[in-house]
Amino acid sequence: MLDSNTIRAMAAAARRVGARLALLAGFVCAGGAFAQSPPSFWDPALHLEKPEIAGLRAIRFLTADDYPPLQFTRADGSLAGFNVEIARAICDELHIGCTIQARRWDTLVDSLESGAGDAMVASLAVTPALRERIDFTQPYYLTPARFAVRKDAPPLEISPPALAGRKIGVIAGSAHEAYLATYFAQATRVAAPGFAELREALARGSVDAVFADGLTLAVWLAGESSADCCAFRGGPYLESRFFGEGVGVAVRKDDDNLRRALDWALARIAARGTYGEIYRKYFPVGFY
């Protein structure tokens, strides 16, 4: 007989695999136009049972406020951002109260564990080390890697043979550099100390392409500072060994009832189209 920990681990693995399959299936069906469509991590054929939440009167969400457009403070002091609206949509779906409190990023996990909040929605990536301390819902977004090129550059196929000898900008020491070294070994890697230097190299044309975090690139491509110079090409790249398991809502260890309620609500807001509306609002250039 399987013990409870083994069953939970198998279920978590199934959720992670299912999320990636749903995402990739959506990308293929969209004919590669996924950048303009919201991702889908929930199988529409899977009908989750609504969990018993009679004893749940409100959810106290914890977040940070220094990572736009995910979570930030407006000029009037109110919280806004993709994660903040996802939290509010969850509470609306569950028909319960909702509070969202911003804390310093480096205190969030300790605050959750100590009971200062019930759940955390702050773009905290799921890792094996964190799973030892806290639990997570199914990921509600992944962090794919993407190539970006100048719009006025000659057509460039994104494949290992086509990029052989091409100068590809990448952040030094990053998972993206490691991925290029493994799968695009014949490309010439041009290491930059940070994202600012990376995007400047692409904008001025000193590299043929850059390879970096898709979300960060999407925010830059949609903003004024890019001057509409560049666009995604190829991808997305989702290998969890390099780019992680994605981002889920965090809850305290073994708070299974709340985790199930959050998973149910996330699936419901996706099915209703609410998730897509929020995604398009904050990511007019989609990062998949």
Using 50, 70 and 90 to split pLDDT, how confident is the model at 14?
very low
- CA nearest 130: which of 266, 249, 216, 262? 249
- In the prediction, which pLDDT does 29 show? 34
- Coil, helix or strand for 136? strand
pLDDT over 80 (residue 213): yes
- The pLDDT mean for the chain works out to 87
What percentage of the chain has pLDDT greater than the value 70? Answer: 87
- In the prediction, which pLDDT does 4 show? 38
Question: Could you report the per-residue pLDDT of 237-269, keeping only the tens digit for each?
Answer: 999 999 999 999 999 998 999 999 999 999 999
pLDDT over 70 (residue 18): no
Per-residue pLDDT, averaged over 64-69, amounts to 95
- In the prediction, which pLDDT does 38 show? 76
- In the prediction, which pLDDT does 22 show? 40
Cβ pair 70, 82 in contact under 8 A: yes
- In the prediction, which pLDDT does 106 show? 95
Torsion, Cα 11 15 17 21, to 10 degrees, reads 140
Domains and CATH numbers, the chain: 4-141+244-282 (3.40.190.10), 145-243 (3.40.190.10)
What predicted TM-score, i.e. pTM, was given to this entire model?
0.84
What percentage of the chain has pLDDT greater than the value 90? Answer: 78
Q: Is 83 exposed, middle or buried (0-12, 13-18, 19+ CB in 10 A)?
A: buried
- In the prediction, which pLDDT does 277 show? 96
pLDDT over 70 (residue 27): no
Using 50, 70 and 90 to split pLDDT, how confident is the model at 47?
confident
Q: Is 134 exposed, middle or buried (0-12, 13-18, 19+ CB in 10 A)?
A: buried
Using 50, 70 and 90 to split pLDDT, how confident is the model at 5?
very low
pLDDT over 50 (residue 13): no
pLDDT over 90 (residue 3): no
Using 50, 70 and 90 to split pLDDT, how confident is the model at 36?
low
Question: Could you report the per-residue pLDDT of 177-199, keeping only the tens digit for each?
Answer: 999 999 999 999 999 999 999 99
Question: Could you report the per-residue pLDDT of 112-163, keeping only the tens digit for each?
Answer: 999 999 999 999 989 999 999 999 999 999 999 999 999 999 999 999 999 9
Cβ pair 144, 286 in contact under 8 A: no
A 10 A CB-CB count for 231 gives 16
- In the prediction, which pLDDT does 28 show? 34
